[in-house]
Amino acid sequence: MISAGDFRNGVTFELDGQVMQVIEFQHVKPGKGAAFVRTKMRNVINGGVVDRSFSPTERFPTAFIERRDMQYLYSEDDLYYFMDNETYDQIPISKDKLDDNFKFVKENENVKVLSYKGNIFGIEPPTFVVLEITDCEPGVKGDTATNVMKQATLETGATIKVPLFVNVGEFIRIDTRTGEYLERAK
């Protein structure tokens, strides 16, 4: 059990049968009345964000999210197949359980499969990935006075904005949390 007074960023707990993760918290001690904890929470199963206040003495069951290392193998129709790195079991996961940032994961890449009480609810890709640019417009020389970006297609089929000096065939590093170009990869 965890009390609301012990909330910290990233803590997961059960609330009304839902698994919640604390995104932000603030302990408030008003001049009059009792203290309370103001929180912003995310439902880890469906991704919904909720603001709510609690008494610091309220207690909730702790929710343990299992993160298993698995390798993404291939996709077939709406199923994506992953292999457990320890047991070599293959597990199919439907497309609707994958977040938007999964578009940066290529085959044979290791990811973390998230589950709660044996039910898989999401995939956590690596924070940074290196991908090759397969299609983009050529940059025009002298067109670099401002921070101009162009559209580029990556080897996974995802499209992102990149600087004008980046060309087809180059490898770039991407932050999968934001989907932003970081730098050229060596």
Domain boundary among 124, 143, 170: 124
Say what the pTM is. 0.71
178 and 156 fall within a common domain: yes
Specify which of 53-62, 93-102, 111-120, 144-153 reaches the highest per-range mean pLDDT.
53-62
- Residue-number span of the structural domain to which 44 is assigned: 2-60
What's the pLDDT at 142? 60
* 50 and 92 assigned to the same domain: no
pLDDT digit string (tens) for 72-114?
999 888 899 999 988 999 999 888 888 888 889 889 999 998 8
Compare 4 and 99 and report the one with higher pLDDT. Answer: 4
Across 137-144, average pLDDT: 67
Q: Torsion angle of alpha carbons 86, 87, 93, 98, nearest 10°?
A: 0
Q: Within 13 Å of residue 16, how many CA atoms lie on the same side as its CB?
A: 1
DSSP 143-159: --SS--EEEEEETTS-E
Overall number of domains in the chain: 3
* Across 146-162, average pLDDT: 87
Q: Quote the distance between the C-alpha of residue 112 and its chain's center.
A: 10
| CATH classification at residue 171 | 2.40.50.140
> Are residues 55 and 70 part of one domain?
no
